Amino acid sequence: MEPSFLNDTAFENIADSTSIFSYHFHDTYTIGLTHHGMFTSHYEHKIIRAYERTARIINPGEIHGGDSCAWQYTNFYPSAEILSNLYEQMYGEKKMPIFEKHIVEDDELFRRLATFFQAVYSNAEPLFLESKLIDALSYLIAHYTHKAALYPFTCKDPKGMSIAVEYIHDNIASDISLDALAGTANVSKYHFLRLFKNHTGLTPHQYIIAERICKAKNLVLEGESLSLAALQAGFSDQSHFIRSFRKIYGYSPKTLFQKSNFILYK
C-alpha cells in the first residue's frame, strides 16, 4: 500500500551527474542530499558549492540552476501542503515555512533525511515511512525556518502578472503567444516582457519551458510514453523536449523509466 500523505510526491536518486542545469523553478519544495561529488548552485544571485554530506533546500517558486561534477544525490519534491500541515501541527498556525539557508551542513539533518530516503527506496511500511518523514521535516522546520508565509501563498507582485502566470498554467499544452499574455495583463508587449521577468525571475519563454518540463516529468513517472508526455505538456518537437529536459534536470527523460531511481507516489 502506498502512503497517501505522499500523493504526487516525486523522488529521484542519481548516481553520477556531471551536467549544467539551466535556470528553472518548481511549484514544490526541493529537499535533497549530496552524497558524493560537488554541485555548484546558482541561487538568489549567489554561487554556493554543495559538498558531500550536505542538505539542499529550495522554496517553491525560487529560481535556481548550477552545474555538477561527479555528483551523487537524492532529492524529493514535497508540496507546500505537506510542510504547511506539519508546521500547523508544530506551532498551531497554517503557514508555509520559508527557508533562507540553501545549503545546510548539519550531520543530524543529513542523518534524518538519509533515513527517510532509505525507507522510501526500501518500500517501507507507511507508518514507518511517515514517522521518518515527520522526524526529518520537523527537524528542518524547527531549526531552519527563516519566516513563515501565509498559506495558500498569495503573491504580493502586480495582479496582472499573477493573472498571466495563471493563464500559462491553464494553457500549458497550447501554443501561448506574447499577444495573449500581454492581453491578460492589459499592458503592451514591451512592458509585459519587463514586468514578467521582474515578477518571476525568468522570461516568459523560460517560464513556459520550465512548466512544460515539470508537467512532462510527472506524466512519464505516471507511466505515459515520452512522446505522449511531450505532446500533452505542449512540446510538438520531441528533440526540443529532450534537449530542454536535459538542460533542467541534467539527465535524459529516458532515464525516468529506471523505476528504481525515480518514484512518484500516487
Mean pLDDT for 156-180 is: 86
Is the model's pLDDT at 236 over the cut of 70?
yes
Mean pLDDT for 15-40 is: 94
> Which structural domains are found in the chain, ordered by start?
4-150 (2.60.120.280), 159-251 (1.10.10.60)
Residue 108 DSSP class: H
Which of 122-131, 147-156, 193-202 has the least mean pLDDT?
Answer: 147-156
Q: How far is 214 from 245, CA to CA, in rounded Å?
A: 9
The reported pLDDT for the residue numbered 152 is 72
pTM given for the model: 0.86
Rounded to the nearest 5 degrees, what angle is found at the Cα of 51, between the Cα atoms of 45 and 54? 90
Confidence band, pLDDT 50/70/90 cuts, at residue 161: confident
Each residue's pLDDT tens digit, 80-97: 999 999 999 999 999 999
DSSP three-state, residue 150: strand
pLDDT above 90: percentage of residues in the chain:
74
The reported pLDDT for the residue numbered 66 is 95
Cα radius of gyration (the chain): 19
Confidence band, pLDDT 50/70/90 cuts, at residue 99: very high
| Largest separation between any pair of C-alpha atoms in the chain | 55
The reported pLDDT for the residue numbered 146 is 94
Confidence band, pLDDT 50/70/90 cuts, at residue 261: confident
Mean pLDDT for 238-250 is: 93
**For residue 184, which of 173, 174, 171 has the smallest C-alpha distance?**
171
Mean pLDDT for 64-87 is: 95
**For residue 157, which of 65, 56, 251, 61 has the smallest C-alpha distance?**
61
Confidence band, pLDDT 50/70/90 cuts, at residue 156: very low
Mean pLDDT for 188-201 is: 89
Burial of 107 per CB tally in 10 Å (0-12, 13-18, 19+): exposed
Is the model's pLDDT at 144 over the cut of 90?
yes
Mean pLDDT for 163-187 is: 92
Higher pLDDT, 183 or 259: 183
Indicate the helix (H) or strand (E) that contains 134. Answer: helix 126-144
